[in-house]
Structure 1
């Protein structure tokens, strides 16, 4: 009899532990302006179930299932006006555009059990976040949308969606070993234009066009957590010219298209000739600097606009002709711009200079591509083990022609890898005189 009693107590203990979750609050930190989904752990609502959510003691949402009919009720609480959404299959609660006043305890209750799950939500203030991060850029520029994750851990899940078409464009599931972009969707508009950072989950959109402009949402579920955070980005492509012509000796301004630099922005201007940094802005550290460039080519001729980050070149010279790259980096996004500048002699008209510039650029690109194709074919040809490699073929192999060919054939996509933010030759550093 004693044995049966002890067995009954043991089963009661096991059922109690496995059937009801303890009311220990799970801590949830969300940046103000972002969104969060609190998961119930319910896979499917059953007949006659009643599921409800409370904020403190106030009822804010309820789902009932009677005779197979599911009824969803979200209370008309002014505090959460139009910001709550219930999943009618699982009871998960999504809170959009988190505010500091949303901080507090959220309790999920289901039939017969109170306090089944409790979340302690804390809205963390971030002055650069306002719910939807707007990213404006010129067509053909590229952008990196940042997750805010420092390093992905095993068990983490990240998905990116193009909201306008409610379409999955990228997914990371570390447990399943999935690191995928889906660029074949939507008539191929994303073909070869999406890249995932495997360390942070950030998404790069290359060569942005009007049909890839719109809202993007990233959903982040960390390993072992019962909630998902959401960030939304509005990517806007502005029609404009990224090729400029100027008469030698005149002044030209390379524009960022920013109305005002934000405190956490970092801007870096580079000139492709000499692969050198020519200007840098870091408002947080009070850095507004211009550099002379390789061989002092820009000495005393550069000026920064401290409000917009635009770069002005005075007394232009023909050797200023070339590609100028701009990286605009912040905690939420990185914009990668490329501007082609042509400086022509005073004896040529702007139209004539433009024609010459386009012709020269086209000829140079064709020549480079032809040379790389020749090297590539020569490099991949089968070679017996005892055959001597001639110097020309070895040079092709060493130079990494596959990478170069891929980069050149992108044409004017405007894409540069995020790694270009790394320091380069700067020449002489000078503080910009612009107030």
Structure 2
């Protein structure tokens, strides 16, 4: 009888604890509803290639009475764009120069992306009964090789230089040069950032023989060799458009 009584006491004790926990959870849930604060449990992940565009859509169709929407970027949560009533505003953020497009639906599009646009994007939506936070994580990868659009055949004699030109530029292009069937990266030029980088060290055949025109992004190969023969691909990405150009180069021996 003593054992039965002890078990009953223990059962009542734990039942009381569970009731208290349930009550506490209800109170917390009630307070959150009263405050109108909600955070997305999981971040939506977006992955794009450098030069492409990405659209972040928080889907506000179920939210009524939106007063203010803020788009923030980075760990510090700097505001980059907002909708205040019927007015769309953009912050003067150099990293997103002329790249952001926000519409009244709340969707934010980043055009002509760079790897530096990788990071956390958060939509803060203030409505009549509270505030909602929706997060997106964006990863921008270096663009892979793509065979597309115009083609040109170029034939020259070993030892001669050759210049591979790009179409008309607007001033914010990212120009990526690749070589061979596997699309090995050999050069990259960011006109907006005024930075160039050669990857001739990754392929000994081009060592110290590649140059980039800082104004046009054209690729120059000096003192050509027969081993330079092959497919050269260039991708030109801007806020206005993305173009691809292929060059089939044949270097003949003397």
> TM-score w.r.t. structure 1 length?
0.28
- Bigger relative contact order, structure 1 or 2 (CA pairs below 8 A, ≥6 apart): 2
1 or 2, which has the higher strand percentage? 2
